Amino acid sequence: MFFQRIYDKSLAQASYIIGCQAKGEAIVIDPQRDIDVYLEIAKQNDLKITHTAETHIHADFLCGSRELVAATGAELYLSDEGGQDWQYEFPHNGLKHGDKITVGNLTLEVLHTPGHTPESISFLLTDHPATDKPVMIFTGDFVFVGDIGRPDLLEKAAGIIGSRQKGAKQMYESIRRFTELPDYVQVWPGHGAGSACGKALGAVPGSTVGYEKIRNWAFRYDNDEQGFVDYLLEGQPEPPKYFAMMKHLNKVDRPLLVEVPKRPKLSNREFLSAYKNGLIVIDTRNKVEYARGYIPGSLNIQGNNAFSTWMGWKISYEKQFILVADDHQIEDLTRKLMRIGMDNMYGYVSDVQNLGLELQMADVIDIEEFKSYIGKDGVQIVDVRGESEYQSGHIEGADHVFAGTLQHNLDQISRDKQVVLHCQAGDRSTIAYSILRKHGFDNVKNYSGGMKEWKEKGNS
């Protein structure tokens, strides 16, 4: 049997290619949208991708199953569980609990594991003829290493009222059935640490059923469904705004993108024309470089592992945008955007100094200046971290407005006072700073050291 895990650090998302070397066939589970990685792996290992499957209708990334089908002719296998509202709206082979997919000498048994979503399924793998016992389970967003999938996304991100309680109770029952699997079965989840699909995902890539039964909090609530439900729903991070769009695009028919597109580098004239016509400019440079000189009205979303998530928070899918990025970055950034279906990039520029614009500088302050503003009249200190971070400890007197939803809560920011922003370590407060400046807030400062430096210096 051939097995390889493919991991996208930017979304903390795992996909898998599993092959029968004797028959030369392979299946890809939950593929990312830029599918060249799977084609290359198959080619290098003399495999043909004959099947592709998804564990559920994903909310955090645009699944590339249909791109793989278009490129390889593979058969597409998707859940038909969950009821009428949770059916995929394009041709596929439907799967129900107990169905089996055969890939050469491998079989994958379908287990309906609702909770994270009503249609969620897992794949229990048996490697014939080596054994007739299952050896792996691919759990998607059902069971992670040290955590389980959150059931509140449908309500928080997609607006389906009442689904969180129902999903939590379904998850309780699914977890009970999971414990019946042999302890030696390897667990390969759809996400790792950093994903917004849970609140305490471990950094270890894989696990076993036995390990999760002694390590994972979800298995400590025998005969206590309400305690399980309460803990599961408590303290979940804010789901990014784009999750609702992913749910939609992963369910309906949509245009396919089987190759990574080449984005044009804009001339000064092309850029200035687009800029004057109101196209959004996203500056992907490091926050320090951005602070030294940035295009007026541009947003700073650094091109790091959080880039696609923050783009999903801030940018409408209907609007075109321009990136500020180095030439060597643009393919990686394009891939990151592809993975959340954000294809509306007009082009990019790499040198802000020679565009003929007067650049602005960010007002970044150190800890001593920050301390001088605490408790003063005429000053509003704004903590832009997540709700659970703020509740677990914050600077006395600081207001809370999450960076992800700031543009929809501008009325909570004073236009008359001196505004001082901070987050944990400066990334989110820089995003927030750029948003406020874009919307005409002139009296804004950014304490980029954030809570990390604040605590390191002995403050509480």
- pLDDT for the residue numbered 159: 65
Each residue's pLDDT tens digit, 142-194 = 999 999 999 987 676 666 666 889 999 999 999 999 999 999 999 999 999 87
pTM: 0.94
Query: Using an 8 Å Cβ cutoff, are 211 and 158 in contact?
Result: no
Taking the alpha carbons at both ends of the chain, their separation in whole angstroms is 54
Question: Which residues is 6 bridged to in the sheet?
Answer: 15
Each residue's pLDDT tens digit, 70-97 = 999 999 999 999 999 899 999 999 999 9
- pLDDT for the residue numbered 161: 66
Tell me the C-alpha distance between 203 and 198, whole Å: 13
Closest CA to 406 of 301, 291, 336: 301
Cα distances from 375 to residues 80, 82, 91, 410, in angstroms, run 57, 53, 61, 22
* Cis peptide leading into residue 129 (ω within 30°): yes
- Please check the confidence at residue 198 and state whether its pLDDT lies above 80: no
In this structure, is the dihedral angle defined by the CA atoms of residues 190, 62, 104 and 45, taken in order, positive or negative?
negative
Query: Using an 8 Å Cβ cutoff, are 294 and 359 in contact?
Result: yes
- pLDDT for the residue numbered 355: 95
Each residue's pLDDT tens digit, 13-66 = 999 999 999 999 999 999 999 999 999 999 999 999 999 999 999 999 999 999
Task: Tell me the domains of the chain and their CATH numbers.
Answer: 2-251 (3.60.15.10), 268-354 (3.40.250.10), 364-456 (3.40.250.10)
Burial state string for 372-396 with b = 16 or more CB within 10 A and e = fewer than 16: ebeeeeebbbbbbbbeebbeeebbe
CA angle in degrees (0–180, nearest 5) for 17-198-68:
25
Each residue's pLDDT tens digit, 214-234 = 999 999 998 899 999 999 998
Tell me the C-alpha distance between 261 and 259, whole Å: 6
